[in-house]
Amino acid sequence: MQHQNKQKGFTLIEIAIVLVIIGLLLGGVLKGQELIKSAKTKAAASDVNAYSVALVSYQDRFGDLFNKANYTVPVTDGTEPDSNDMLKELADRGLISQKNQHALGGAVELAKNGDTTGTVIGLATAANTTVAPQSFSWAVCYRDITTEDNVQALIRAIDGAGSDFITTPTAYQTGRARLVIDDLTSAPNEYAPANTTVCFEI
């Protein structure tokens, strides 16, 4: 007597269930990535306000942050402190936590309008002659923001959800947050390989 081996395949219902499960998993991963991106943007925006408070507190208590004679640790290189010196001084005074990078991964720079030494570049930081202020007196700048979506999210987080980058390209350059070309000298109206820095007025 011969026995036949019958191979049973998956039914359409079983395949459908597997596809639904895969779809749910992919949806969860994508949603998780979106939440992580949103959290990083919020953290970066929150740090802007922390730098602003730190600068005001420093100048109220210790004097001009741009005067290295006020520093806890003497600055011996250059005629004025550069960005690293200023950020270190704020951290040494306990006004900020020292960070080498912003939440989205690039370098942080503190810039004072009118300085051309060290890493503080910007005779006209975030300059835009069509709006006031034409340039920021003090700014914190986030370098190397690698996607236009991240730039737009950061600007919206600081300047409000109404920033319209499609019909109003100047949304990149007219608020407290401005996309700037990478030498910090002007505010363009589009994201480009040379425009990956956002400066925030503080």
- Domain ranges within the chain, ordered by starting residue: 46-201
Rounded to 5 degrees, φ, ψ at 139 are -145, 150
**pTM (2 d.p.):** 0.79
Per mean pLDDT, which range of 53-67, 106-120, 169-183 is the poorest?
106-120
Q: What is the mean pLDDT of the chain?
A: 84
> In this predicted model, what pLDDT tens digit does every residue of 34-79 receive, in sequence order?
767 778 888 899 999 999 999 999 999 999 898 888 898 887 776 7
pLDDT higher than threshold 50 for residue 82: yes
- Mean pLDDT calculated for residue range 19-26: 81
- How confident is the model at residue 116, as a pLDDT? 42
Residue 127 makes CB contacts below 8 A (sequence gap 6+) with 134, 135, 185, 186, 187
